[in-house]
Amino acid sequence: MLFKLYGNIFTNQHFTENVTYILEDLYDNNEFLVFRLYFLVVKSNFTIDLNKTSKHLDQYNLEFIDLNIVLFYKNFGLVNCCYLFVWLSLCEINNLVKISSYIKDSVDNKICIINKNVNNDLANTIINFDNGIVPENEFLFLFICIDKNKK
């Protein structure tokens, strides 16, 4: 279930700071929820129905998506996904910065994997993204879903 959408999250030195503010917002009054965070590359000539996409991605556990990130990138422009567990609404900003830094490292690692393998034939039935990613020049959409399987 789609919860929130954030745009223009650049994959530059401000990524961690921007994601920290988003996490701070998610921790506010959302106790005992599990979120799925999906980071997608934004291309001007590509449109996506986020409700249909979130329902489709709900069918997969994030570990499977993570192992097949290049396949999902080529279809949707998906760069990274992760769970966020919110147990208490009170959270120290230092912990949110650590989580954001971890997400940034994960995004950077996934971009490397995508760039190394984007030209490989993965038997995709749909290919919307066939070029690699320039890490410092991309901006991402972050769409956040409530994980109904882990409530």
pLDDT band for position 38 (50/70/90)?
very high
pLDDT band for position 150 (50/70/90)?
low
b/e 81-110 (16+ beta carbons within 10 angstroms → b): bbebebeeeebeeeebbebbeebbebbeeb
What pLDDT, on the 0 to 100 scale, is given for residue 115?
95
Decide: 72 and 78 in contact? Cβ < 8 Å: yes
Name the percent of the chain lying above pLDDT 70.
97
What pLDDT, on the 0 to 100 scale, is given for residue 60?
93
What pLDDT, on the 0 to 100 scale, is given for residue 54?
86
- Residue 12 pLDDT exceeds 90: no
In this prediction the pTM is: 0.91
- Encode pLDDT of 87-137 as tens digits: 887 788 999 999 999 999 999 999 999 999 999 988 877 888 888 898 777
